[in-house]
Structure 1
Amino acid sequence: MPKEAELTEVPPLNIRGFKVYKGFLNRASQEQLVAESRALATEAPFFQPTTPSGKPMSVKMTSAGRLGWVTDRTGYRYQTAHPRGQSWPEIPNVILNIWSAVASPDRLPDSCLMNFYGADARMGLHQDKDEGDFEWPVVSVSLGDDALFRMGNPTRGGKTESIWLTSGDVVVMGGDARLSYHGIDRIRFQSSSLLPKGGRINLTLRVVDQTS
């Protein structure tokens, strides 16, 4: 990863325990990550997930790493293979470097979930709770169009706060915020020139297994 993409001494915004690193990745690093994301999607194509109730999600998704997150009629879960049967590709080092900079170099993530948001895509308020170990944070990387990120509480209801995430921002959800509800209300389609046809790529890094 280019030197400019390394963590600077500028502290992150701390909103409800969510650490928001604005402008963490420069343009060259963002372009490199888009190229890596496209390569991953060639090996493990995007698919349209459905919730256990049968409702289709508005995002398209795929994964990299030893485990990938999926959802369908049988439930939310991690599994070792793409729905088409092939193993997930390895997480590229350029993505792992981000985790090492903002989370920990001692325990690398098991999974990198990649979501693509089109013009009308959104993500309702939810918890990331399918992992076996909540000691480690969830690290989220934004590429492409602006997204309105809503942050809530560890239980449903109550006051929420929102911030526009722009391309190159990184969010770390750890500590008290690890199980807080969060979501994407909407994107500003074609607000970024990173993806020529518009849209947003979100990379989410997670430790899935309990540590020994």
Structure 2
Amino acid sequence: MADLFAGLREWEAIAPGAVLLPGAVLDRADRLLREVERIAALSPFRILTTPGGGRMSAAMTSAGPLGWHSDRRGYRYVTADPLTERPWPPMPPLFAEIARDCAASAGYDGFRPQIALINRYVPGARMGLHQDRDEAALEAPIVSISLGLPARFLFGGLSRHEPIRRFDLLHGDAVVWGGPSRLAFHGVATIRAGDHPATGACRINLTFRRVT
């Protein structure tokens, strides 16, 4: 029932240069999920290894001319999917449209994403506090879209020691951050068990970035 009210919640500035846009893509959520299914059929979701040898709890894939990858060699962007040894699936026009629209709503006109990083969280999965700093184009914002099960989004400052704020993200919500918050630490608390009519027992997160 919470999704029915996603569009009624108010736009919220969560930090300088960072904005929560409740229900921003609710009207296009089903189309987004169909594109995710198509991408995953070409480049399947996989659990990546961290440089320290640990395993991430969220499964990932990518779309666009670049994809994000992690293994013992480090975090980096690669032009081919290491799993299939083929180029990543192209960025769907719908993805670019939504990323551009959300960025503009947050005050970042002219955003052109190069990568859609797609994370799939099942109950028990999480994302630890981290900075998105593998990109050269730090002047471009990050656009994050939530689909499916709700999540508790953690958003801090430019160091790990700054206070963390928590925001509940529902199906169809978007978060955009850039400018003074571009390198803010952020993460996702452990996903709780549940079943969503659009995704079943998982949450899908789309993160759009410009790399170069």
TM-score > 0.5, shorter chain as reference: yes
- 1:179 & 1:72 partners in 2: Cα distance? 22
**Residue by residue, what CA displacement relative to the aligned partner does 1:103-152 show, whole Å, maximum 9, x if unpaired?**
25634111110000011100000000000011110000000000000111
- 2:12 & 2:193 partners in 1: Cα distance? 25
Partner of 1:67 in structure 2? 66
Partner of 1:206 in structure 2? 209
Partner of 1:158 in structure 2? 162
Deviation of 1:192 after TM superposition, in Å, equals: 2.7
Q: Is the 8 A contact 2:111 2:141 kept in 1?
A: no
Unaligned 5+ runs, structure 2 = 1-6
**Residue by residue, what CA displacement relative to the aligned partner does 1:152-203 show, whole Å, maximum 9, x if unpaired?**
111111211001100100000111111000000122332532113x110000
Q: Kindly indicate whether residue 99 of structure 2 is the aligned counterpart of residue 99 of structure 1.
A: yes
Partner of 1:40 in structure 2? 39
- Counterpart code for 1:56: R
Unaligned 5+ runs, structure 1 = 1-7
Q: Is the 8 A contact 1:144 1:192 kept in 2?
A: yes
Q: Is the 8 A contact 1:146 1:191 kept in 2?
A: no
Q: CA RMSD in A?
A: 1.6
SS of the residue corresponding to residue 189 of structure 2 reads: strand
TM normalised by structure 1 equals 0.89
Q: Is the 8 A contact 2:99 2:111 kept in 1?
A: no
Partner of 1:90 in structure 2? 90
- 1:106 & 1:21 partners in 2: Cα distance? 18
- 1:117 & 1:15 partners in 2: Cα distance? 23
Percent identical pairs in the alignment equals: 40
- Counterpart code for 2:211: V
Q: Is the 8 A contact 2:154 2:187 kept in 1?
A: yes
